[in-house]
Amino acid sequence: MPELPEVEVTRRQVAPLLVGRTVASAVTSAPSHLFLTPPEELSARLPGRRTEALERRGKYLLARLDDRSRLVIHLGMTGQLFGEGATSVRLLASTARAALPPEALPGFSPDRHTHLRLHFADGGPGLFFRDVRKFGKLLLLAPGETHARLERLGPDALSAEPAVLIRRVRGRRLAVKALLLNQSVLAGVGNIYADEALHRAGIHPARQAGDLSAPECARLLVAVQAVMNRSIETGGTSIRDYVQPDGRDGGFYDERAVYARRGEPCRTCGTAIERLRIGGRSTHFCPACQEGGVKSGLADFVGPHRRAPRGGVRGS
């Protein structure tokens, strides 16, 4: 699922395809829950508009248009935003992938999962939004209009100050992993980068958020930003559907420390990576590098009983 780094890589690559160009036509798929603005309204209102900037808030992309309206794009679980001419097997339906002869170039042509096609007045390459599972969102905001989804976002994880996290963990009785996934605390953190950041910070994912000391919060935020910045450098994490807008895979999956590495040795200490469920989400951690998963945090776990790791609460 695309998280902040994948959305930021998308923003950086899509900006040159969008900014300064005037939409000639907008072709959509049929109405569905993906369209928070009805598709016929997008087709009517987007032509003639020029994009002035492409911004990001958490996992949302916001194209600022010349009439001060904003096109909001959320990639959801399987959303793909890419330029005409991009090629990747990830842009093909599974049946088309299976039928592809070896060594064939997987050229893309719009299919039934392509929900928005923007064509431009300059006649240059178009821009496509494709989403197989349709958990993504498209929304056109009138000038000055906002939306509850944007209103409830906390500060962006990449630029938040430590004081923000310190203030937001205070008194919170839930596992720090679950807190990190809450978009109103920090916008943009999802399952992969929460696990990676907690490992980097040496904090057990089941620690009670409210028990974290101020230095631990600061260390955690530094870790969140470090793993995200590194992922952006490598083009993000490609597992199933995510591709960079030019069709390349992201490279961060090969560098991950804990995510989806259950049973494999920790790259820091060699201990086998373990997996738990916290707040319904699969959570990966090193029991040696990340001590302190104590007390009631463990009561949230679903699945086979596991003993609480030994060791006191660090830094408090």
List residues binding Zn ion (CB under 5 A): 266, 268-269, 271, 286, 288-289
> What are residue 58's phi and psi, to 5 degrees?
60, -125
* Minimum distance from residue 216 beta carbon to Zn ion (Å): 17
Task: Give the residue with the Cβ less far from Zn ion, 227 or 286.
Answer: 286
In this structure, are strands 114-120 and 23-28 parallel, antiparallel, or unpaired? antiparallel
The total of other beta-carbon atoms located within 10 Å of residue 161's CB is 11
User: Which of 162, 281, 306, 309 is the catalytic position?
Assistant: 281
- 55 has catalytic annotation: no
- Residue 210 CB, nearest distance to Zn ion (Å)? 25
Which one, 29 or 290, has the nearer CB to Zn ion? Answer: 290
- CB of 156 or CB of 255, closer to Zn ion: 255
Shortest distance, position 307 Cβ to Zn ion, whole Å: 18
Q: Choose the catalytic residue: 45, 56, 57, 59.
A: 59
Nearer to Zn ion, 36 or 288 (CB): 288
- Residue whose CB is nearest to Zn ion in the complex, by number: 266
Looking at 3, 6, 274, 291, which residue is catalytic? 3
Joined tokens for residue 8: 């930021």
Active site residue 3: yes
Complex with Zn ion: residue 239 or 269, whichever CB lies closer: 269
Residues in a beta bridge with 27? 117
Half-sphere exposure of 97 (CA within 13 A, CB side): 10
Closest CB 288 distance from Zn ion, rounded Å: 5
Minimal distance, residue 286 CB to Zn ion, in Å: 3
Smaller CB distance to Zn ion: residue 116 or 258? Answer: 258
Q: Which among 257, 293, 310, 315 is positioned nearest to 175, based on CA atoms?
A: 293
Report the nearest approach of Zn ion to the CB of residue 252 (Å): 19
> What are the residue numbers of the active site?
2-3, 59, 281
